[in-house]
Chain A
Amino acid sequence: MSVYFTEDHEWIKVDGDTGTVGISPYAAKQLGDVVYVELPEIGREVGKGDEAAVVESVKAASEVYAPVGGEVTEVNQTLEDAPETVNASADGDGWFLKMKIADASELESLMDEAKYKEYCDGL
């Protein structure tokens, strides 16, 4: 299973043609206490870079973009009642959605973990 990152701080863990999407611990820390998460409907088709979910802290709302295109197959219902899970476990239990990846070649433009760490260090 490989994990890729976007410049907007989403991650996607890839297992076959299924991708699990979330936001990085760095992004969760920047956002602060997450108080609300809006998840997409199952079956929704999203293109790479489309808004797939919304995450809100006390102060502001931020979009979560699809790292690659595909169809939403599952959403993390836990977040509806416990949005703070995003802060507690951004790269684990705080995942947002699973998708069927339409075109695996879109993953090539994303960063791997080492590159992403370098990217964050430069911010």
Chain B
Amino acid sequence: MSELLKTKLHAKHQALGAKMVPFAGYDMPVQYPMGVMKEHLHTREKAGLFDVSHMGQCFIFADDGTFETAARALETLVPADIQSLKPGQQRYSQFLNDEGGILDDLMISRLGFEGHTHKLYLVVNAGCKADDFMHLATYMPPGITIDVADDTLSLIALQGPKAVDVLSQFNPAVRDLTFMNSIDIPLTPTIWCHVSRSGYTGEDGYEISVKHDDVQTLTDMLLAHEDVEMIGLGARDSLRLEAGLCLYGHDIDTGVSPIEAGLFWSIQKHRRSANAGYKGAARVAADIADKSTKRLVGIQPEGRAPAREHTEIQDLDGNTIGEITSGGFGPTAGGPVAMGYVARKFTKAGTPIQLIVRGKPRAAKVVKMPFAPHKYYRG
């Protein structure tokens, strides 16, 4: 077995008493002494700080120095419209294979800093990053540079209603930043960061890309605020599930298209045709037209019993109609929450279904997501 990798905050996690677990090749904190439940609620009520440095970060830019060339190149691999990104703007998208299956989901930003607005900045999942970087290296045309930043940059996320008050003490410019926009600013006179108003908890908050050498200092400064607590992967998972956000390898993978996964919203209008010019476009267009494909839906089990991943979903007659892909207890929802794929005629909110938990059918229904309202700051 190969040695687990460590983020630059590894010693900090240990010093805080975190329970460490292997995750995507890294030794990561699953929870701190506070526990998953309290960490989750703290993030929803105040501000949680997450070490997400295991995620992959890279920059893509064209030798000709234009944004358009880099954007056009990336648009061959993702459904999202990249060319229309304004400086500082960020979009969620997916890498698709030729069959339209999802290779990974990712965040794509156009840098907003003067002199760098021709560059794209990508954040990809830890578990997929090696394959993603290989995918980019394989398919980016000559004249495009892929600059992987894992050796230089850490990534932390500050999430929750107090995130804005905490971070604006370091630089008031973050206050007016709106959801899915980013800026490059100093948070101290010497620590420059790429700060985006985004995250994966459903809360208002920020993701902060910072040099490896500065991440410990910045983390200590943020943790010094009484409203900020370090939050582990356990609560990160329950937060994103309540927010109705997909987790790669669970809710999405190469077996599903973005349309089946309910990610239609992430594909801008003129990118929905079979000849949109990206890998998998034909499948995306076909799935938009085909009203029979399965769909990812929110599922609310009745009672208190959580329905976990791989739980069988049946109609009321006992026929298998799908499977839970993420499920657990939602601390904010105050009960079990889940998402899973069901055959198309069962996708309507309110549709009664049953879940086979430990061999016994349990009542549940299809519901609209999210389970906890999104609190994004849109200005």
> Which of A8-16, A53-61, A92-100, A113-121 lines the interface with chain B?
A53-61
Would A58 and B304 count as touching, CB distance under 8 A? Answer: no
Cα A114 to Cα B35 in complex, Å, equals 28
Q: From residue 70 to 123 of chain A, which have CB atoms closer than 8 A to chain B?
A: 80, 83
Using A32-B31, A35-B306 as known contacts, say yes or no to A58 and B36 having CB atoms under 8 A apart. Answer: yes
Would A33 and B306 count as touching, CB distance under 8 A? Answer: no
A28 to chain B, nearest CB (A): 11
Cα A56 to Cα B30 in complex, Å, equals 17
Would A59 and B305 count as touching, CB distance under 8 A? Answer: no
Across-interface contacts of A35 in B (CB, < 8 A): 37, 304, 306, 329
Residue A38, interface by CB 8 Å: yes
Q: From residue 24 to 51 of chain B, which have CB atoms closer than 8 A to chain A?
A: 30-31, 35-38, 40
Would B331 and A36 count as touching, CB distance under 8 A? Answer: no
Using A32-B37, A33-B36, A33-B37 as known contacts, say yes or no to A58 and B305 having CB atoms under 8 A apart. Answer: no
Would B329 and A58 count as touching, CB distance under 8 A? Answer: yes
Most buried by A among B329, B331, B358: B329
Would B305 and A36 count as touching, CB distance under 8 A? Answer: yes
Cα A85 to Cα B331 in complex, Å, equals 16
Across-interface contacts of B304 in A (CB, < 8 A): 35-36, 80, 83
A47 to chain B, nearest CB (A): 18
Residue B197, interface by CB 8 Å: no
* B contacts with A, residue count (CB < 8 A): 20
Across-interface contacts of A57 in B (CB, < 8 A): 36, 329
Residue B328, interface by CB 8 Å: yes
Classify the interface of chain B: helix, strand, loop or mixed.
Answer: mixed
Would A58 and B358 count as touching, CB distance under 8 A? Answer: no
B312 to chain A, nearest CB (A): 15
Across-interface contacts of B336 in A (CB, < 8 A): 36
Residue B308, interface by CB 8 Å: yes
Residue B105, interface by CB 8 Å: no
Instruction: Output the nearest chain B residue to A80 by Cβ-Cβ distance.
Output: B304
Across-interface contacts of B238 in A (CB, < 8 A): 58-59
Most buried by B among A35, A58, A83: A58
Q: From residue 230 to 285 of chain B, which have CB atoms closer than 8 A to chain A?
A: 234-235, 237-238
Instruction: Output the nearest chain B residue to A38 by Cβ-Cβ distance.
Output: B305
Instruction: Output the nearest chain B residue to A59 by Cβ-Cβ distance.
Output: B234
Would B234 and A58 count as touching, CB distance under 8 A? Answer: yes
Would B35 and A38 count as touching, CB distance under 8 A? Answer: no
Would A32 and B36 count as touching, CB distance under 8 A? Answer: yes
Within 8 Å by CB of A54, from B38, B237, B358, lies B358
Instruction: Output the nearest chain B residue to A81 by Cβ-Cβ distance.
Output: B304
Would B329 and A56 count as touching, CB distance under 8 A? Answer: yes
Across-interface contacts of B234 in A (CB, < 8 A): 32, 58-59
Most buried by A among B30, B235, B306: B306
Across-interface contacts of A54 in B (CB, < 8 A): 358
A30 to chain B, nearest CB (A): 9
Could you mark each residue 7-34 of chain A with 1 if its beta carbon is under 8 Å from any beta carbon of chain B, else 0?
0000000000000000000000000110
Q: From residue 41 to 58 of chain A, which have CB atoms closer than 8 A to chain B?
A: 54, 56-58
Instruction: Output the nearest chain B residue to A60 by Cβ-Cβ distance.
Output: B308
6 residue pairs, one from A and one from B, having the closest CB atoms: A33-B37, A35-B329, A58-B36, A58-B329, A36-B304, A32-B35
Q: Can you list 18 pairs linking A and B with CB atoms under 8 Å apart?
A: A32-B31, A32-B35, A32-B234, A33-B36, A33-B37, A33-B38, A35-B329, A36-B304, A36-B336, A38-B358, A54-B358, A58-B37, A58-B234, A58-B238, A59-B36, A59-B237, A59-B238, A83-B304
> Contact residues of B with A, CB < 8 Å?
30-31, 35-38, 40, 234-235, 237-238, 304-306, 308, 328-329, 331, 336, 358
If A56-B305, A58-B40 are given as contacts, then 6 extra A-B residue pairs at C-beta distance below 8 Å, sorted by A number, are A35-B306, A36-B329, A58-B37, A58-B238, A59-B234, A80-B304
